[in-house]
Amino acid sequence: MLIRDQLRQTGDTLHGAAVSHGLPRDAIRRVLDGHTPRLDRAAAICDALGLEFYLGLPRPAAPPQGDAPALPPDLLRDLETVARTLNQVVLDAGGDPVPPEALKRLTAADGDMPAGLVAAPFYRDVRASAGGGEPVFEEETDSVVAVHPSVLPASTDEAALACIRVRGRSMVPTIDEDDIVLLDTSRTEPIHDELFVLQTEDGLIVKRMRREYPSMERMFGSPARSSRPGIVAFTTAPTPEWRLVSDDDAYPARRITTQDRVIGRVVLVVRPM
């Protein structure tokens, strides 16, 4: 077995290797007894044994000399589907997505996205604030997130998708710290009670947009005198306005200003496990 062979090479014991790396004394023994460890525990055990922790497709053997036969297109598509599924598992667990150039190495011969998956650019260093906002800088994406169209609204423009992380907790329970939101950047027209990402003077923020009436005084204007006792006349008709609202009531809502620019509608929220 690999673990025992590694211990023979290092001259260490099961308990000694575990304790010297801050693990419980029986951590490695339990693996030998058939218990499946958590991912973080498995990584720590590999580190204690001097082994590489690798999660992914089986690594191919060294290629033979000369031209190797091409893999069938169906097999290439299956391999790409597995790779993108593993990428989504890593993303759901809070890890960084696989760079797109790595995924392209498994792209099928015809270049089609397998199983109908859609690739959305992931801007890992840009964050939308679910709090007070923060500065945003232009950058190029080096990662993608693959999703199935069935989890997206029917009207989503797949070519206009983008992914960013969220900072802050003003949108709890809908969106929490470090959640990833998938945006449709073609949808910039406000929709009542839907989530949008906006560029503001404070930076990029994610809020719920609602069309609401202002306060009574602002809605009706200053009251005018009336000749009839008990009757108050108002000079203006009520007009609803768009407001940015947090799902956490502790954060006050505010009106949209001319300085605010809608970046896109939130069409999916991915929460790390």
Q: Give 83-129 pLDDT, tens digit per residue.
A: 666 666 666 666 655 555 555 444 433 444 445 688 888 887 777 77
232-254: pLDDT as tens digits: 555 566 678 999 999 999 999 99
Among 49, 70, 87, which residue terminates a domain? 49
Residues 153 and 262 placed together within one structural domain of the fold: yes
Query: Would the pLDDT of 180 be above 60?
Result: yes
Among the ranges given (110-124, 173-187, 220-234, 243-257), the one the predictor scored with the smallest mean pLDDT: 220-234
205 pLDDT tier (thresholds 50, 70, 90): very high
Query: Would the pLDDT of 50 be above 70?
Result: yes
Residues 154 and 246 placed together within one structural domain of the fold: yes
- Relative to beta strand 143-147, strand 180-184 is unpaired
184 pLDDT tier (thresholds 50, 70, 90): very high
174 pLDDT tier (thresholds 50, 70, 90): very high
Q: Would you state the pLDDT for residue 110? A: 41
Q: Taking residues 168-191, what's their average pLDDT?
A: 93
pTM (predicted TM-score): 0.53
In a domain, 221, yes or no: no
Q: Would you state the pLDDT for residue 64? A: 53
Q: What is the CATH number of the domain that holds 160?
A: 2.10.109.10
Q: What is the number of domains present in the chain?
A: 2
- More confident of the two residues 145 and 68: 145
Most confident of 35-39, 96-100, 205-209: 205-209
Q: Would you state the pLDDT for residue 240? A: 85
In a domain, 68, yes or no: no
Query: Would the pLDDT of 38 be above 50?
Result: yes
In a domain, 92, yes or no: no
Residue 31 belongs to domain spanning: 2-49
Neighbours of 208 (CB within 10 A): 19
Secondary structure in 3-state letters for the chain: CHHHHHHHHHCCCHHHHHHHCCCCCCHHHHHHCCCCCCHHHHHHHHHHHCCCCCCCCCCCCCCCCCCCCCCCHHHHHHHHHHHHHHHHHHHHCCCCCCCHHHHHCCCCCCCCCHHHCEEEEEEEEEEEECCCCCCCCCCCCCEEEEECHHHCCCCCCHHHEEEEEEECCCCCCCCCCCCEEEEECCCCCCCCCEEEEEEECCEEEEEEEEEECCCHHHHHCCEECCCCCCCCEECCCCCCEEEEECCCCCCCCEECCCCCEEEEEEEEEECCC
Q: Would you state the pLDDT for residue 11? A: 80
Spatial distance between the Cα atoms of 249 and 266, rounded to a whole number of angstroms = 20
In a domain, 235, yes or no: no
Whether residue 50 contacts residue 81, with contact meaning beta carbons closer than 8 Å, is answered with: no
- Relative to beta strand 161-167, strand 118-129 is parallel
Q: Would you state the pLDDT for residue 55? A: 56
In a domain, 34, yes or no: yes
Residues 27 and 131 placed together within one structural domain of the fold: no
Q: Taking residues 48-69, what's their average pLDDT?
A: 60
Residues 34 and 120 placed together within one structural domain of the fold: no
Residues 122 and 250 placed together within one structural domain of the fold: yes
Among the ranges given (7-21, 95-109, 121-135, 161-175), the one the predictor scored with the smallest mean pLDDT: 95-109
In a domain, 220, yes or no: no
In a domain, 222, yes or no: no
In a domain, 97, yes or no: no
Please give the mean pLDDT across all residues of the chain. 75
Q: Would you state the pLDDT for residue 193? A: 95
Residues 115 and 27 placed together within one structural domain of the fold: no
